[in-house]
Structure 1
């Protein structure tokens, strides 16, 4: 895949950003622990310990950032940008073939390439919770419809008076959108946007992939320093 020779026109709307709240929270905690242990070893350790601690932090911190703080999905009317731990993938809607949800959320291109969206994790627990909420809402709707029918059958002016049949009919109306897990709802919105925009002229172009050298560079440097220190002894 190649990067377009010229920059695509600016999208009509600003990017909407989706990130994993749990991932960010976990990353902050992990970084705090790594930095606390690392600096403690650097300032209180003896011999090679401070250097080993420094090399270890240079190696570990980029990986923590890559897998927790970095992942994000940027969406606008013309393209989808997927920022994964080690790559940034820019996909014009015209190049997207399908958005698929299973045990992970993925985007497939018309060229047959597949990219996982790390920032939109699949949570089986959230799906089960949404299913329970949907079941409760359906039960409540059925009970409201039954109450409305009972109110209409009372007869007299009270049956169609204020607060009687009006509440019953609204309770038994058409159900709203189904309740979904947050990640599944986001994927549904992406599919709708893809369907609406894939044939637009401004949503055409080539898929581009850029490696995250700002993550890989420090990690490789830390690994090399750590190997040298271990070998030298």
Structure 2
């Protein structure tokens, strides 16, 4: 008699972490660039329309890369970091640590370090959160109300980057615990795939073409 197949573990949808300020700034910049560039293309004379087109081809991908593209996707199995020109996919079993100093970073077991552009660190927010915690400690120096403190409230008082890193660290620890239990139950079970890095050629190629066109137009002018 064959043993019943154990039910597959549910795979949860990705959680997305990105910077709202970066998105708003990117949209406004793209609108401004499109307005100025479009006006130069329509109303410009001589070589101006061609220079404007080459400039748009150079600038638009760069603005989109640094403002709209950065995002971090995470689920119960892996984290996917979309930086301006690279996409890094790391299984949680290969992640060693998550930290936010002057920038948010992911460290892997093999010593590699990847910055997370979508989680910018605000020292101003961090100082504000530290001042709030200091005031709370001063109001209750003996910790008499700590038993009744709301964990959700304390987390909401953290800086945005620190709160995001705490959420990601929680996902990583749960995934590592689950992977350790699975390895103990099934030692021959296949391990997760390794770290993968993919370049964003869809943004790099237009920017390079735009730069080459600008150089050619300026050199032949």
Aligned to 1:176: 150
How well do the aligned residues superpose, as a CA RMSD in angstroms? 2.3
Shift of 1:203: 7.4
Q: Residues 11 and 72 of structure 1: is their aligned pair in 2 closer, same or farther, counting only changes over 3 Å?
A: farther
With over 3 angstroms needed to count, the CA separation of the structure-2 counterparts of 1:79 and 1:35, relative to structure 1, is same
Measure, in 2, the Cα distance between the counterparts of 1:181 and 1:138. Answer: 18
What's the CA shift string for 1:91-111, capped at 9, x where partnerless?
A: 000110111211001001111
3-state SS, counterpart of residue 72 of structure 2: strand
User: C-alpha distance in 1, partners of 2:95/2:162?
Assistant: 18
Which residue of the partner structure matches residue 195 of structure 2? 207
Query: What's the offset of the Cα at 1:137?
Result: 4.1
Q: How far is the alpha carbon of 1:139 from its aligned partner?
A: 5.1
Paired residue for 2:4? none
Question: Bigger radius of gyration, 1 or 2?
Answer: 1
3-state DSSP class of the match of 2:84? coil
Q: Report the CA distance between 1:134 and its aligned residue.
A: 2.7
Count of residues in Structure 1 that have an aligned counterpart in Structure 2: 200
Contact kept, 8 Å, 1:197 with 1:203, in 2: the verdict is no
Aligned-partner SS, 1:37 = helix
Cα separation, 2, equivalents of 1:189 and 1:40: 45
The runs of 5 or more residues in structure 2 that have no matched partner are 1-7, 183-189
Query: Residue 97 of structure 2 aligns with which residue?
Result: 98
Report the counterpart of residue 167 of structure 1 in structure 2: none
State the distance in 2 between where 1:83 and 1:197 align: 21
Query: 2:125 — aligned with what?
Result: 126
C-alpha spacing 1:172/1:215, structure 2 compared with 1 (3 Å): closer
Q: Is this contact kept in 1: 2:96–2:108, CA < 8 A?
A: yes
Aligned to 1:168: none
CA distance in 2, matches of 1:37, 1:44: 11
Gaps of 5+ in 1: 1-8, 146-170
SS at match of 1:183: helix
Cα distance in 2, alignment partners of residues 173 and 206 from structure 1: 42
TM-score, reference length from structure 1? 0.79
2:165 to 179, 187, 190: 187
Report the counterpart of residue 84 of structure 1 in structure 2: 83
Question: Aligned partners of 1:16, 1:106: CA distance in 2, in Å?
Answer: 18
Deviation for aligned residue 1:132: 2.9
> TM-score when scaled to structure 2?
0.83
CA distance in 1, matches of 2:191, 2:138: 43
> 2 CA distance for matches of 1:43 and 1:57?
13
Asked which structure has the greater RCO (Cα within 8 Å, sep 6+), the reply is 1
Query: Deviations for 1:119-160, whole angstroms, at most 9, x for unmatched residues?
Result: 000001111222233334445667xx6xxxxxxxxxxxxxxx
Deviation of 1:174 after TM superposition, in Å, equals 3.2
Specify the SS of the correspondent of 1:68: helix
CA contact (8 A) 1:94 1:205 kept: no
> Aligned ranges for residues 36-75 of structure 1 at < 5 Å?
36-75=35-74
Structure-2 residue corresponding to 1:220: 208
